[in-house]
């Protein structure tokens, strides 16, 4: 948010702070040309008020399945619970597949980490735990990488950037691209570069290596695309 504030101030945009609970309750009246930034739940609430259809999750686009280098499958939260009832269950990665941020996507190591409040029928994604030694985020605006950030592991263990560029082309060819998105890649112990996940550009966190100008342009670009879908 501090990066965006700086970027918007440089553009001489008017900035209005608001309380999270009021936005979630729909008690803030928004101009039709407003850009709302914040955590995912806040921005989704603003989209609903502005008549912007909620974009579907596409963390693992089908066109990039060959870049995962691990098994990923759809199931329900009940299957995650069942996994830890088996003898000697291995750690497993899980995240929501429909409702964003219902719970934090992470590696689950035992049953005590499960959330009892999540219904068994909740759609989720499961994947085998990948042995990443480093991870990088690529910010993309209109199919061009504007910044690369290292957010885990040694930055000297760089991924193959040509694979990231190939992935962008594959998304374009499949019609699965967005005007602005972040796509994360990691280096495996095997030396392979693998897709970690893709993130919609409307509410993407930063690891502070991207400039305020680029981050603000990134956010504006995706929001402009979303406004064009308004009902």
Q: Retrieve residue 143's tokens.
A: 């199919």
- Is 186 found in the same domain as 147? yes
User: What sign results for the dihedral spanned by CA atoms 77, 79, 82, 83?
Assistant: negative
Give the sheet arrangement for strand 193-200, strand by strand: 144-153, 132-141, 180-188, 193-200
CB–CB of 142/158 below 8 Å?
no
List, as own/partner pairs, every contact residues 11-18 make where C-beta atoms lie below 8 angstroms and the sequence separation is at least 24, other chains included: 11/216
pLDDT of residue 213: 96
CATH number at residue 154: 3.30.470
Q: 205: Cβ–Cβ under 8 A, 6 or more apart, which residues?
A: none
pLDDT-based confidence at 98, cuts 50/70/90? confident
CB–CB of 147/139 below 8 Å?
yes
Mean pLDDT of 99-118: 89
Last-in-domain residue among 92, 107, 127? 127
- Per-residue burial over 201-213, b if 16 or more Cβ lie within 10 Å, else e, is bbbbebeeebebe
Strand partners, 188: 132
Q: Which residue would you say has higher pLDDT here, 207 or 193?
A: 193
Last-in-domain residue among 127, 144, 167? 127
CB–CB of 114/108 below 8 Å?
yes
pLDDT tens per residue across span 6-61: 999 999 999 999 999 999 999 999 999 899 999 999 999 999 999 999 999 999 99
Residue-number span of the structural domain to which 86 is assigned: 72-127
Query: Total structural domains in the chain?
Result: 3
């Amino acid at each position: 948010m501090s990066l965006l504030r700086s970027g918007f101030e440089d553009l001489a945009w008017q900035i209005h702070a608001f309380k999270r609970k009021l936005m979630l309750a729909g008690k803030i009246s928004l101009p039709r040309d407003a850009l709302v930034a914040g955590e995912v739940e806040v921005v989704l609430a603003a989209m609903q008020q502005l008549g912007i259809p909620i974009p579907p999750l596409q963390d693992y686009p089908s066109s990039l399945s060959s870049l995962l280098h691990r098994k990923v499958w759809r199931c329900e939260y009940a299957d995650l619970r069942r996994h830890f009832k088996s003898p000697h269950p291995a750690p497993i990665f899980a995240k929501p597949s429909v409702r964003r941020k219902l719970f934090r996507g992470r590696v689950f190591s035992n049953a005590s980490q499960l959330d009892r409040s999540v219904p068994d029928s909740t759609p989720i994604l499961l994947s085998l735990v990948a042995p990443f030694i480093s991870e990088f985020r690529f910010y993309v605006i209109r199919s061009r990488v504007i910044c690369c950030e290292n957010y885990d592991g040694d930055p000297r263990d760089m991924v193959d950037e040509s694979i990231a560029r190939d992935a962008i082309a594959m998304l374009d060819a499949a019609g699965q691209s967005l005007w602005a998105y972040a796509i994360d890649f990691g280096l495996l112990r095997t030396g392979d570069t693998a897709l970690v996940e893709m993130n919609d550009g409307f509410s993407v966190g930063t690891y502070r290596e991207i400039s305020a100008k680029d981050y603000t342009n990134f956010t504006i670009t995706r929001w402009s695309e979303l406004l064009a879908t308004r009902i």
